[in-house]
Amino acid sequence: MKTKKLDLRQILSANIKEQRQNLGISQEKLAEMAGLSWQTVNSIECQRTWVSDNTLEALAAVFKIETFQLLMPQETRIALSLNSTETLRKLAEAKKDYDNTFAEIYSNAT
């Protein structure tokens, strides 16, 4: 079985760019918010440099996500979010069933 090699620089670059664009901010603004230079942000997004743990934590803090999420391939993040959405949907259905059952029991008892 052939597996696709994960290039962490490519994954990190794509995730930072995606998160930055979701916030609608420039590399310069991201750098300012994270306490970095814009050259550092640009070098990370262009896959020219790797990051320290402090830089990774600062970027994750700006995006209000967990640090590990910046290192997850997009396909994995999408699958996890879909699973979370599906879980929430099932929980909402279970709560609705519970509420309906409780209402029925309550009305029969009164």
**Which residues, including other chains, have CB under 8 Å from residue 70's CB and lie 6 or more apart?**
12, 15, 16, 19, 56, 59, 60, 63
Given a contact cutoff of 8 angstroms between Cβ atoms, the answer to whether 58 and 36 are in contact is: yes
Query: 35 vs 3, which has greater pLDDT?
Result: 35
pLDDT tens per residue across span 63-107: 999 898 898 887 766 666 656 666 667 667 767 766 777 677 778
Per-residue model confidence as pLDDT tens digits over 27-41: 999 999 999 999 999
Domain ranges of the chain: 7-72, 73-110
CATH class entry, domain 7-72: mainly alpha
